[in-house]
Chains A and B, each alone.
Chain A
Amino acid sequence: MTSRSIALPRSATRRERPSARQLRQLDPLLLASSLLLICYGLVMTYSVTAEDRSFSGDPSEFVVRGAVFAALGIVLMLAVAFVDYSWLGTFAPVLYLVTLAALAVVLFIGVSVLGGQRWIPLAGQKIQVSELAKVLMVIVLAKWWADRHDRARSITTLGGALLLIVPPALLVYRQPDLGTSLVFIAIFFGIAFLAGARLWQLTALIAGAGAAFPLVWSLLKDYQRARLVAFLDPYADPQGAGWNIIQSLIAVGSGEATGKGLTAGTQSPLGYLPIAESDFVFAGLAEDLGYVGAVILFALYVVLLLAALRLALRARDPFGSLLAAGVVSMIAFQVVVNVGMAISLMPVTGIPLPFISHGGSSLLSICFALGVLQSVAMRREAGAAPRL
């Protein structure tokens, strides 16, 4: 890291308490869409769990947990906003090492759930390290490219970024969590693209990955291969590999225009829709709230993502800009893949739907990321944004 990349803003040097003027600097569209999405997620957690008639235990447990995490997330987001994001950049090398160490720890002492070793127990909660790792890798890669913004077209910059992303992606893949490792790849490409890497280099990388597909295929686990085959033809084995896809399609389609109503879905409470509160939560949402509910969700995502991109153009420096680029890449990729999976446009991979999937680690990580973006927003130079 070089010191010249750390351009300390005036506001950060004064260490003042948050003032009304600073609060006005928060990006309102980003904040509003974030809060609405968090609420939407809470409503869906309630809807999907409350209707589960075969659920044994306290049906409000999920909702209470979700509400606690939502509150924590909002607090975290605002708290992070008041911290100058440049500090994160300063600690990027440390964050990277911590990420690698934490992911390695998961592999050795992690808790297995549904065949994936993804959690470590901490303070009575299970922490899904890879969720946080995604945000930390956004910071690491943003910092990498920001430090080299004048050498963005150099192949060494791209190569270095690649070397940074491969170890955590492999560690996550080993859990096994193919989906999250794909999110890492998406963050890598997203930041590289927006940082200004040469298009032919990126294209060559993608082509290389495509050429390596047979190798990747041979490395895939049987169930992952079965999912890919089932994606191509779910009705080949409707009770087996194709089950999730078919049931998800049925849930989505049966929602019709306005849905069966909150808590009135039938696919998830009766167990037809698997893991309805996380991976397939979108199917439950589309079943309960219909096309209208889904399109409202999409609209909120679009507002959030475009606000983040606008923020990137107004950022104080390339680091801030690329932080936004990374967060947008992460969220957009997860949304498209998760929804695409539910409506059979994508193979089944366990990627949570940001804000909506029930999961404390996921929600807190996203709130942390959005807090960082608000930090970028608060420190933007008014009137400095280039016109699009």
Chain B
Amino acid sequence: MLSSRVPPTTHPRRYATAALAIVVLMVMLSVRLYDLQIVHGDEYRLLSEQNRILRLPVAAERGIIVDRNGVVLTRNLPGFSVSVIPIDLPVATQVALAERLGALLGREGKDVLSAIQLQRTQNPYEPVRLSLKPVPREVALALVERADAYPGVRVDADAIRSYVDGPLYSPILGYVGSITPEELDARREAGYLPDDAIGRTGVERVYERFLRGTYGWREIERDAAQREIQTLAHVPPKPGGNLVLTLDDRLQRILQKELDQGIAKDTFSQAVAIAMNPQNGEVLAMVSTPAYDNNIFVTGATSAQLRQIYTDTRHPLVNKAIGEIYPPGSTFKMVTGLSALSEGTATRNTVVNVTATSFTIAGTPFFDWTAHGSLDFVNGFAHSSDIYFYSLAAGSPMSNNPGVGPEAIAKYGRMLGFGAPTGIDLPGEASGIMPDPAWKQATFDEPWTIGNTYQEAIGQGFVAVTPLQLLNAYAAVANGGTLYAPHVLKQVNDLGGNATYVPKAEITRKLAIPSEQLRLLREAARRVVTIGHASMPNAKLPIAGKTGTAEFGASSGKDSAGRNLLGFHNWFVSFVPKADNTDPTAEIAMVIFTFDSSKTLCELCLNPAVAMTQRVYEAYLATPVKP
């Protein structure tokens, strides 16, 4: 038997130390776990959800835009977009991937890379769109089939905005473009996403809220290899509303054809035409030419295209119907006349005996285009006698009329909508200038002269109007005294064609002008065509109107062909009563403005807008117009 047993250990304290060490280590692990799971657990929970759950927006189709008869002006073509979710793209491979994607998408690799990097810093779980323009089907398929070679790359169906007849409607429709970071910041609450398109200008911008639908969402669960395991939730998108405009495509095309022909023949270099219904302010057509093809802004304009647009001195990006101001010329005699009639300084029987083509005041000669002889109001207006309206405005050596004065003219001018935007539902509308003595003093620090009154009386000098203002003022005369805010939106329809929004005809004001004076103006305007300045041979319609010539004459010099550099800009503003009478029944009014129409050497050639107006009305009204 063993006498002395060997003790199992001579170092029991080391065992105690080991036991203590084990306990301490386990406590340390528990503390770290407490920090991870209890203190920061909710953050990691979120990360684990972000890991596996991808919440993908499902784009809502933007509403289309049609004319009043349902002619499609803007549609959405099917296409593809390419985007990258940075969290799924390894940093080590992103440079190479950006290069390859750039080559496929027609972008610089470094631009693609910086877009990815920017998104990585902002929200790496959200896709960033890399395709600036719609991606062809072959490229989309190649990317999908070789998904393993393009980590983090997504290909989605994406509608491409397509403007059916680019330049014809671009001044009205505008276009959509990618949202900028600043715009996004302001609109995140409204559900905008970084890849969103947003209406940049025109109707696309003004009615963005209707056109844009509401994003749907698809929540998918993914494994680490980015395969979709299942769809967890799906909220379908709500498509945008379809806009029905007040425009009539048929009239728009008739006008465009006329104006294009004029430019082609070099009768003028730019032109504007607007037609509206005087009874409710609906704009029936609005052509501003030359315009631009808005499709190039959707698909990505080349620098050559942009250069061409930006260097064109005719400003194709500007809707000249509302965005440029011009001297109204003799069309403004309506304002002078109405102010004198309304203030009682003149009646239809006020006679001025225009015995010469000019008179002189304080050494300054004031001209008329001919020695008309004795003129009453209707004849003065019909023959567009400058001296007749000089006399109504400020008196003259050829008349004993006291003149109504510049303040009264400005008052009635403003009443008729000059000097302020008309309030049309399009962006970029100019105010124009309705001058008076106070305005001149404030602007130029100079006193008003009688010469200023004479110039104002015939729409020259300081007064400047947009074509739409001029049309709108005549429309108010044509409808018996209601100034509307013109509008291009007729209604908004849902997918089923039911109206979800119909704007009310917005009345800016009722004119404080006796109705018999307006009737006299309608009569005088009709006389312009029948006996006066705007001869319309074989006219089939009771067209009334007023010509105007914004004259710069020879003052701006001549070009090498001997033509005035800035010669005449011609106006014809008109309306067509239902019958050949003076009743306020016109359902169409129109203005045509031809810029630089003195390109022909003949300075007193007939105003080209007059013949165009006759042809347009006769072509358009030959077919019954739907209300």
Contact = CB atoms under 8 A, between A and B. Distances in A.
A84 to B, nearest CB: 15
A256 B41 contact: yes
A301 interface: yes
B34 to A, nearest CB: 7
Interface stretch (B223-231, B304-312, B335-343, B461-469): B223-231
Interface string A313-351: 111111011000100100010001001100101000000
A313 B8 contact: yes
Nearest to B17: A193
B563 interface: no
Given A250-B47, A257-B38, A309 B33 contact: no
Nearest to A387: B12
B25 A336 contact: yes
B8 A271 contact: no
B147 interface: no
Interface size range of chain A in the complex: 35 or more
Interface stretch (A63-71, A97-105, A203-211, A289-297): A289-297
A318 B8 contact: yes
A240 interface: yes
Interface centre among B16, B29, B32 (most CB of A within 10 A): B29
Given A253-B41, A302-B26, A309-B18, A267 B51 contact: yes
Given A194-B15, A250-B51, A336-B25, A321 B8 contact: yes
A256 B48 contact: no
A176 B33 CA distance: 30
Nearest to B221: A270
B18 A252 contact: no
Nearest to A319: B8
A239 B92 contact: yes
Contacts of B25: 332, 336
Contacts of B45: 253-254, 256
Contacts, number: 173
A266 B26 CA distance: 26
A318 B6 contact: yes
Given A270-B52, A343-B32, A249 B15 contact: no
Contact of A316 (B8, B33, B40, B52): B8
Contacts of B30: 294-295, 298
A340 B36 CA distance: 12
Interface centre among A272, A286, A315, A381 (most CB of B within 10 A): A272
Nearest to A257: B38
A320 B32 contact: no
B37 A291 contact: yes
B181 interface: no
A149 B52 contact: no
Interface size range of chain B in the complex: 35 or more
Contacts of A48: none
A317 B8 contact: yes
Contact of A267 (B15, B43, B48, B92): B48
A266 B16 contact: no
Given A194-B11, A266-B52, A312-B15, A256 B6 contact: no
A384 interface: yes
A101 to B, nearest CB: 32
Given A249-B36, A272-B224, A302-B22, A388 B8 contact: no
A365 B471 CA distance: 98
A271 B221 CA distance: 12
A237 interface: yes
A127 B45 CA distance: 38
A252 B36 contact: yes
B4 to A, nearest CB: 11
A286 B32 contact: no
B136 interface: no
A143 to B, nearest CB: 14
Contacts of A312: 8-9, 15
B18 to A, nearest CB: 6
Interface string A158-202: 000000000000000000000000000000001001111000000
Contacts of A302: 22-23, 26
B230 to A, nearest CB: 8
B23 A271 contact: no
Contacts of A54: 223, 227, 229
Nearest to B28: A345
A328 B17 CA distance: 13
B44 interface: yes
Contacts of A194: 9, 11, 14-15, 18
Given A253-B41, A256-B38, A343-B36, A196 B48 contact: no
Contacts of B6: 7, 149, 317-318
A53 interface: yes
A257 B37 contact: yes
A256 B8 contact: no
Nearest to A54: B223
A251 interface: yes
B41 to A, nearest CB: 4
A270 B22 contact: no
Contacts of A250: 44, 47-48, 51
Contacts of B2: 7
Contacts of A1: none
B141 interface: no
Nearest to B16: A388
B12 A270 contact: no
Contacts of A7: 2, 5-6
A309 B47 contact: no
B51 A340 contact: no
19 contacts: A7-B5, A152-B10, A195-B11, A252-B37, A253-B36, A253-B37, A253-B43, A256-B37, A267-B51, A267-B52, A270-B223, A294-B33, A309-B22, A316-B5, A318-B7, A325-B15, A343-B33, A386-B12, A388-B15
Interface of B: 2, 5-12, 14-16, 18-19, 22-23, 25-26, 28-30, 32-34, 36-38, 40-45, 47-49, 51-52, 89-92, 221-225, 227, 229
